Amino acid sequence: MTAFAFDIEATDGAARAGVFRTPRGDVRTPAFMPVGTAGTVKALYMDQVRAAGSDIILGNTYHLMLRPGAERVKRLGGLHAFARWDGPILTDSGGFQVWSLAGLRKLSEDGVDFRSHIDGSSHFLSPERAVDIQADLLGADITMQLDECTAFPSTRDAAAASMDLSARWAKRCRDAFGARDAQAIFGIVQGSTFPDLRRASAERLVDIGFDGYAVGGLAVGEGFDAMLDTLDATTPHLPTQRPRYLMGVGKPADIVEAVARGIDMFDCVLPTRSGRHGQAWTDSGPINLKNARFAEDKEPLDASSDCPASRDYAKAYLHHLVRSGEHLGAMLLSWHNVAYFQALMARTRAAIRDGRFADVRAGVRRATSPAD
């Protein structure tokens, strides 16, 4: 019997609020997972990540297998001890790098031959090896199947071949994972923007049987409307009693629209990447602290926030830090952004429970359009 359970506690239309229960703690859904690619959420202490409201973080198989090495992480106590994060961790399988590092890899039925982007050394990642790294070496609470993130645009034939390969890899990953009480495994729906391929992919994964289901292959250039159309074609074919995870999508407008279509979990580098480039996310939309108009602005980013970075520092000071290239600027803005995204998720959960999700959805769409 798995120690993982997903309880849907309220719905508002297709939007769901609930709890994904894991041995290392509950994940309140809808949930946003800060990205800790290399065992760190960039520019933040894990205590800050937790205090901001994060229940779960994400790590990346490809990057950790290259540096410091998955076997080394295992010898040092696993990823939780190594990174000093005691909550749940979901690990990306490396499938996104199959897409993003296309010039450094060779794909076959067996798996993926990578050349390291660090030193050019050769590595092989099979479905079985991806499971071994995530579940046994890193010690992830949630393992993702190895998949191929289909390039966009794609012909239907190419998308079908890619989806078929991911589905065959899904079966191999599930078999390699076996039965585990304290760890879970998610399958990943592929099929580009073709509704029939998305349905076929979802149905094949459900037949295999996973603890949760992710929608992959989006936010790769297809555009906002095509992403929503693809979710409309996909989520009805995923089990209602399992968590649904939209991979790599994270603008506030993207999140609320995906929640409206029944998605429960998200991850994105946006909060910390924006912070490192001087951008802060707010209820009025994103603002660029590099702009001269903030040079004498004494107001904080959000006086009502529980986050010190949002509440205690004037925009003028943040502007100064960013323009001066001071590391503290990136740290404070990253902290603020992670806290902002977690506050958005908390508001979204509360609104679903109170039957007010439409209000949150409309407000976010007005403030943070997909063109931002």
Look-up: residue for tokens 């997903």? 6
Neighbour-count burial of 241, counting CB atoms closer than 10 A to its CB (0-12 exposed, 13-18 middle, 19+ buried):
exposed
| Pair type for strands 244-246 and 212-215 | parallel
Question: Is residue 92 annotated as part of the catalytic site, yes or no?
Answer: yes
Catalytic residue among 12, 55, 141, 267: 267
d(CA 294, CA 247): 34
How far is residue 37 from each of residues 3, 63, 268, measured CA to CA in Å? 26, 7, 10
Q: Report the candidate in 193, 201, 133 with the shortest Cα–Cα distance to residue 165.
A: 201
**Residue 73 has which token pair?**
């992480």
Q: Do 92 and 56 form a contact (C-beta atoms < 8 A)?
A: no
What residues contact 171, with CB distance under 8 A and at least 6 apart? 208
Rg of the chain taking only CA atoms, in angstroms: 20
d(CA 370, CA 49): 26
How far is residue 163 from each of residues 149, 186, 196, 228, measured CA to CA in Å? 9, 16, 11, 19
C-alpha angle 342-344-349 in degrees, rounded to nearest 5: 95
Catalytic residue among 12, 55, 92, 211: 92
Q: Which residues are catalytic?
A: 92, 267
